Structure 1
Amino acid sequence: MKMTVDFEECLKDSPRFRAALEEVEGDVAELELKLDKLVKLCIVMIDTGKAFCVANKQFMNGIRDLAQYSSNDAVVETSLTKFSDSLQEMINFHTILFDQTQRSIKAQLQNFVKEDLRKFKDAKKQFEKVSEEKENALVKNAQVQRNKQHEVEEATNILTATRKCFRHIALDYVLQINVLQSKRRSEILKSMLSFMYAHLAFFHQGYDLFSELGPYMKDLGAQLDRLVVDAAKEKREMEQKHSTIQQKDFSSDDSKLEYNVDAANGIVMEGYLFKRASNAFKTWNRRWFSIQNNQLVYQKKFKDNPTVVVEDLRLCTVKHCEDIERRFCFEVVSPTKSCMLQADSEKLRQAWIKAVQTSIATAYREKGDESEKLDKKSSPSTGSLDSGSESKEKLLKGESALQRVQCIPGNASCCDCGQADPRWASINLGITLCIECSGIHRSLGVHFSKVRSLTLDTWEPELLKLMCELGNDVINRVYEAKVEKMGIKKPQPGQRQEKEAYIKAKYVERKFVDKQISIASSPPEQEKKIVSRGCEEKRLSISKLGNDSGIQQSSDDGRDSLPSTVSASSLYEPEGERQDSSVYLDSKHLNPGLQLYRASYEKNLPKMAEALAHGADVNWANSEESKATPLIQAVLGGSLVTCEFLLQNGANVNQRDVQGRGPLHHATVLGHTGQVCLFLKRGANQHATDEEGKDPLSIAVEAANADIVTLLRLARMNEEMRESEGLYGQPGDETYQDIFRDFSQMASNNPEKLNRFQQDSQKF
């Protein structure tokens, strides 16, 4: 309501003027209270709105996170993203609304209160002050006595000045009142109208936004109806499947596990198995195994990368395992390791074994052509040594081994099935094998056959030389001696089951070895005399060499040895044409251990292989010759290849004679550097002492053999280094390995380079 004060009444200072002032002042005071309250409420509203925007923005971010989480569902991701974008627009509109509210209500009304009402209050104070002064002047003027002319004039002058000032200030006060009364209407209406227009813009923007979103929401609603129907249908199907599976579970747990070679996801079979750890504790752990991509893998957790047990199922075999306490166990044997597994039942074990065997056959069928192409690509005939993923150096070594080994008679085809171009070998038997037969050989165990690749593995020189000393023809004359007599046909390529049975009978049961063949033809009485004479010759030779290092002996590792009684050319002569030049092999029906013992000295690898086929103990000790072993005899014979053959067939490198001397002692005494290097690589104990308290190093130092001293000291330093660094079982320093590799190369390929010790000793 507009309230004004008359200027005329102001000059009269009438009671009506005073009453009007009182009414206006009360109204302005109440207006100030209402405006202050409204501004405070506006501030609260704005702060609450901003908090709402913050919470709304967090909610919108949650919707976006849910959309990203649902990236595999296009409908959910698209709709949530679209809704979050719309909500973000609404948050922006809210922010604009609150900014407009702050300018229109808070800022504008607060400015009216602070500016206009403040001026009103200041004018009121001045008016009240001058009013009081006027009243005092009137009272004083009335109290002056007539006879006091001086006081009368003074009071009259004060009253006149006071009235004049009152009129001026009163008129200003009235003017301020009338202006305030007129302005407050416009200020209040202006701020509220601006506030309402801000809301109008907000809701209009929201309406436009959701008008555009409306068709999409309508389509989504229709799609949602279909999703509800589909969800109900899926629910019924899942309930039916749940009922079926529940009945299946009640019938048998074993029925859950089936294998499918043609599975679309490539997983032939999967399930839980117990796996025995390869550590010293042999603990059993339950892991999730699967056969996929021609590999056997397992996982501890689903997110873990699968651990590969077998890289290529073609290179492995599987068999039952009944020699341990746990039930339902089977073993998967690969080229590098053996994995012991346990199923939950016998039916599951049979299923896993069948699945592995079927996968092996499938791998051969699918990858046969590919493997053949890769083999041809890596063979020397292609003329390219840079193909494949192997390094050039490794391919050179592999191709060299393949070419050299396949040149040996009979090695151009598999020893067991006759398949052409074999790329694998059994290093302890000295034969070549096709990839399928090599997998079967691995299943026999390393005590029967140790398999290596002729193209993928790096070959040590002494091992390669061993392969070239034997061959398929030599070994088959021993292990297949009775095949034709028994009317047995060798298996053909691709007949895996027939191959398994044949190879097991050939090498494990040794059914085809002719144990009636006489090894030589001299009577037993002569045998004892010959043994005695041979023993005496060797003892004299060792004793003489220990006192006089200048004696020359001829050997294949760079040392001159005791006179050989079997010529190198006689190794591959037919039995009927070979000259019987050995005084040690002139006996009949020898004990296989004694045959191996004598053949080891004579460097006769075919006879050694024959003795092992007849059941000779590779660590047989001759009680008539200080309990010397075949390995010690090989040292005395001076042949590096003979030593390697015995070691590959399980000879104990640390077995000693009655004088406490092992192979390393004897090789050191004789100055056989290549043999010393070989024994150290094969784990010989160089700290062992003989009955005189001498270890190999002290013997080498006394003999002033610089090469052997160097090898022994390097081996000792490498051993101490590995122990100090905790590298047990590790190969050790690279320098150590390089030096031993160089000595092995010289001993096998250039033995004359190791003759420095004898040549130097002859000068003195």
Structure 2
Amino acid sequence: MIDTGKAFCTANKQFMNGIRDLAQYSCKDNLVEASLTKFSDTLQEMINYHNILFDQIQRSIKTQLQTFVKEDIRKFKDAKKQFEKVSEEKENALVKNAQVQRNKQHEVEEATNILTATRKCFRHIALDYVLQINVLQSKRRAEILKSMLSFMYAHLAFFHQGYDLFSELEPNMKELGAQLDQLAVDAAKEKRDMEQKHSTIQQKDYSSDDTKLEYNVDAANGIVMEGYLFKRASNAFKTWNRRWFSIQNNQLVYQKKFKDNPTVVVEDLRLCTVKHCEDIERRFCFEVVSPTKSCMLQADSEKLRQAWIKAVQTSIATAYREKGDESEKQEKKSSPSTGSLESGSETKEKLLKGESALQRVQCIPGNAACCDCGLADPRWASINLGITLCIECSGIHRSLGVHFSKVRSLTLDSWEPELLKLMCELGNDVINRIYEAKLEKVGVKKPQSGSQRQEKEAYIRAKYVERKFVEKQAASVPLPEPGTKVLPPSQEEKRHSGPEKSLLAGEQGAASQKVRSSDSGIQPSTDDSREHLASTISANSLYEAEGDKQESPVFCDSKQPSPGLRLYQAAFEKNLPHMAEALAHGAEVNWVNVDENKATPLIQAVRGGSLVTCEFLLQNGANVNIRDMKGRGPLHHATVLGHTGQVCLFLKRGANQHATDEDGKDPLSIAVEAANADIVTLLRLARMNEEMRESEGLYGQPGDEIYQDIFRDFSQMASNNPEKLNRFQQSDSQKS
């Protein structure tokens, strides 16, 4: 009974703990929490009383009765054993005495004496045995009644304690009962109201989805908007999965399940844009595009799609306001602008950080103010246009789409060296002379920094998308007469005795000229001349068989070449302002010159030997894998010419190094034949990285850190220390 009672107390304690947990889970309901807490406390007291009861039972019954059994009954059993032994001896004496013959007097006397002694001992032991029986009987009555009396008193105390405890709880129980009666009445009323609403909803017409989803940028929990959206996976199957999305803390995140940690889609909403998607089969789709990836999403209706797009756009503007001041404070703490590129001995971390990009880009003429509204100290840039922008104008540029403008932060993003040089080759003054050439003629007033956003947006769209202010007449770019040939670098340098005239000669600042001279080819230094000469010598083995191909003939059919042809010519001449002007006049970036083996401007840029020219074309949508009639793409030509920096750039931009030309040679085999160790290293590393990603199923991933570090080092050398990559060309030149 005691063991079972203790098990009962243990089960009661578990039940009481469950009630306490239920009270904690009901913390938002004061009535439930208070009632359950009071009940659990009462049950805990009852469990304590039960434990006291079983302790008293242990002492009153178990302990006392065990003493009675182990001591008193043991003595009785010992007396009984002696009595039974003497009784047996007496029986034996009687039997022996009866068996003695009368004629044996000696045996008769001995048997008589034994019988007498045995009877005497029997009477004595029997007397002790009877005494033990009487004592045990008397004590048994007292012990049993004493134990039971103690047991009953223990129960009396237990029930008195329980009665007192529940007497104190009874008023609360009666009050709760009255509240429950009222709750029942309220629940019945609420049920009737809900049934009526349910009936009304069932009668509603759902033919058109009129669901409204509100967003609040000032929400207390930081969640601007949340709800279910379909997300297209980035795998090869492009499957669609329904996920719970939310906009919070200037990020777009989603969860597969409620308790899962959120997966971040966009780290910083300032670096993304959102647009409708009407070119896929599914309806109500929109796309969130960031500098590193894009996410295709689908809402349940058109109204929901519009609500999500508006919420993302509003959050982008809010993110600008919240973090703009913080970024400006951090930037003001940075060191003054030096106006020149850092030396190659500095660490690559310092070369890539945004502070350095801001200093370099802002020193270009016109870049100290926003290109579109004139606001001072711009912190954003359009990398394909080569201009600087303020926060508000950069947001408008994002809405145009990446095919018009690719926006990047000068302080928050890392900058590749070739991008920095690209920005330094152009600038706000150059681009505005192209895209605002007719601004005064058409009578349009350029917006100021304090103008309304709608006014700025209309102006920027007219300027870059519709190109209303671009001069439609013949370009000011000096072009060759029809039938003349554009010579390769080796012959071009012999023909020109002085520096080539630029579109804006004399108008660029000294800092811009200093940056441009290292890569534009306007007036090459001694090292640049050696590089062009060595490139020509190393390419002879593959280009001599092409005859006039080395001289790059371009025949013009009219005095005003097409924009595509002008882009093609400017790419070879390394003239980025002319290239930007050709694109503004509608040049197709992948224009094909049918008169020269279907070469593209990107291939011409490779032949011209300029890394920045190639980067400019790639940023404006040039296809790195378009090949000429001989099956050679830009990567082939860069490998033949020994342009290590261009090879590195094309591999980073996804060039196909497995493509073969009409001779069945891929870039790697060409580099091996030319014994160009740097290019062979880059090609083999890229191929090994590609194979590793395919074997591990990491499609679309950039590669491991070692691979990225090596390519980053080559990019740094190609942009800041090109002489380090000229070892192969110089050695070949010396041999020649």
Between 674-683 and 427-436, the greater mean CA deviation after superposition: 674-683
Match of 1:505 in 2: 462
Task: Give the superposition deviation at 1:597.
Answer: 0.5
Q: Which residue of 1 aligns with 2:5?
A: 52
Work out whether 1:650 is the aligned partner of 2:621: yes
**8 Å contact kept, 1:520–1:585:** no
Correspondent of 1:688 among 659, 666, 688: 659
- Greater shift, 427-436 or 230-239, is seen at 230-239
Partner of 2:51: 92
Q: Paired residue for 2:416?
A: 460
What is the CA deviation profile of residues 261-292 of structure 1, one whole-angstrom value per residue up to 9, with x for unaligned ones? 44444433332222222322222222222333
Q: Is the Cα–Cα contact under 8 Å of residues 105 and 192 in structure 1 kept in the other structure? A: no
Choose the corresponding residue for 2:86, options 111, 117, 126: 126
Determine if contact 2:46/2:162 at 8 Å carries over to the other structure.
no
1:573 aligns with 2:573: no
User: Any idea what the Cα deviations from partners look like across 1:362-393, whole Å, max 9, x if unmatched?
Assistant: 444555544543454567589xxxxxxxx994
Counterpart in 1 of 2:527?
Answer: none
Q: CA offset at residue 223 of structure 1?
A: 6.0
1:202-351 residue pairs with structure 2 within 5 A?
203-204=156-157, 207-208=160-161, 211=164, 213=165, 217-218=169-170, 220-221=172-173, 224-225=176-177, 228=180, 231-232=183-184, 235=187, 238-239=190-191, 242-243=194-195, 246=198, 249-250=201-202, 251=204, 254-255=210-211, 257-351=213-307
Look up the match of 2:631: 660
> What amino acid does structure 2 have at the position aligned with 1:515?
K
What is the distance in 2 between the residues matched to 1:591 and 1:199?
116
Partner SS for 1:71: helix
Query: 1:154-177: per-residue Cα shift (whole Å, max 9, x none)?
Result: 435533541342133123203321
TM-score by length of 2: 0.80
Q: Give the Cα–Cα distance (whole angstroms) in 1 for the partners of residues 496 and 163 of structure 2.
A: 106
- From 10, 15, 31, give the equivalent of 1:62: 15
SS at match of 2:483: helix
Matched, 1:589 2:548: no
Alignment-derived partner of residue 141 in structure 2: 188
In the alignment, is the contact (CA less than 8 A) between 1:297 and 1:308 conserved in 2? yes
Partner of 1:71: 24
C-alpha distance 629-490 of structure 1, shift in aligned 2 (>3 A):
same
1:308 aligned counterpart, secondary structure: strand
| Post-superposition offset of 1:405 | 0.6
Distance in 2 separating the partners of 1:129 and 1:720: 107
Deviation at 1:480, TM superposition (A): 2.7
- 715, 719, 730: which one aligns with 1:759: 730
Superposed displacement of residue 634, structure 1: 1.2
TM-score when scaled to structure 1?
0.78
Cα separation, 1, equivalents of 2:314 and 2:659:
51
How far did 1:633 drift? 1.3
Q: 1:362 to 1:701 in 2, by over 3 A?
A: closer
Distance 1:182 1:288, change over 3 A: same
How far residue 713 of structure 1 moved from its aligned partner, in angstroms, is 4.1
- In structure 2, what is the Cα distance between the partners aligned to 1:724 and 1:268? 41
1:403 to partner: Cα distance: 0.7
Aligned residues of 2:86 and 2:121 also touching (Cα < 8 A): no
Q: Distance in 1 between matches of 2:589 and 2:116?
A: 145
Q: Which amino acid aligns with 1:170?
A: R
Compare CA radii of gyration and give the structure with the larger one. 1
Determine whether 1:529 maps to 2:489. Answer: no
1:515 corresponds to 2:472: yes
Query: Could you say if the C-alpha distance between residues 378 and 271 of structure 1 is closer, same or farther in structure 2, counting changes exceeding 3 Å?
Result: farther
Distance 1:113 1:655 in 2: 112
Structure 2: stretches of 5+ with no match in the other structure: 28-32, 339-346, 509-521, 524-552
1:691-702 aligned within 5 A: 691-702=662-673
Kindly provide the amino acid, as one letter, of the partner of residue 684 in structure 1: A
1:389-439 deviation per Cα after TM superposition (whole angstroms, max 9, x unaligned) = xx9946972111111111112222222333332222221111122233333
Are the counterparts in 2 of residues 408 and 468 from structure 1 also a CA contact under 8 Å? yes
Contact 1:426/1:433 (8 A) holds in 2? yes
How many angstroms does 1:459 deviate by? 1.3
Structure 1, residues 472-494: CA drift from partner, whole Å, max 9, x if none?
Answer: 22122222333333333344557
1:9-28 matches, within 5 Å, as none
Calculate the aligned-residue CA RMSD, in Å: 3.8
| Deviation (angstroms), 1:595 | 0.7
CA distance in 2, matches of 1:589, 1:105: 125
Instruction: Return the alpha-carbon distance in structure 2 between the equivalents of residues 372 and 478 of structure 1.
Output: 31
Change (3 A) 1:57 1:176: same
How much identity, in percent, do the aligned residues show? 61
Q: 1:421-476, CA deviations, whole angstroms, 9 ceiling, x for partnerless residues?
A: 22222211111222333333333332222222211222111111011001122122
Q: Distance in 2 between matches of 1:255 and 1:693?
A: 61
Any idea what SS the aligned residue of 1:68 has?
helix
1:616 matches 2:587: yes
Contact 2:567–2:579 (8 Å) recurs in 1: yes
Cα deviation for residue 643 of structure 1 reads 1.2
Amino acid at match of 2:582: A
Choose 127-136 or 48-57, whichever is displaced more: 127-136
Distance in 2 of aligned mates of 1:376 and 1:241? 62
Tell me how far apart the structure 2 counterparts of residues 316 and 50 of structure 1 sit (CA, whole Å): 70
In 2, distance between residues paired with 1:298 and 1:734? 28
1:643 counterpart letter in structure 2: C
Count residues in correspondence: 672
Q: Secondary structure at the match of 1:155?
A: helix
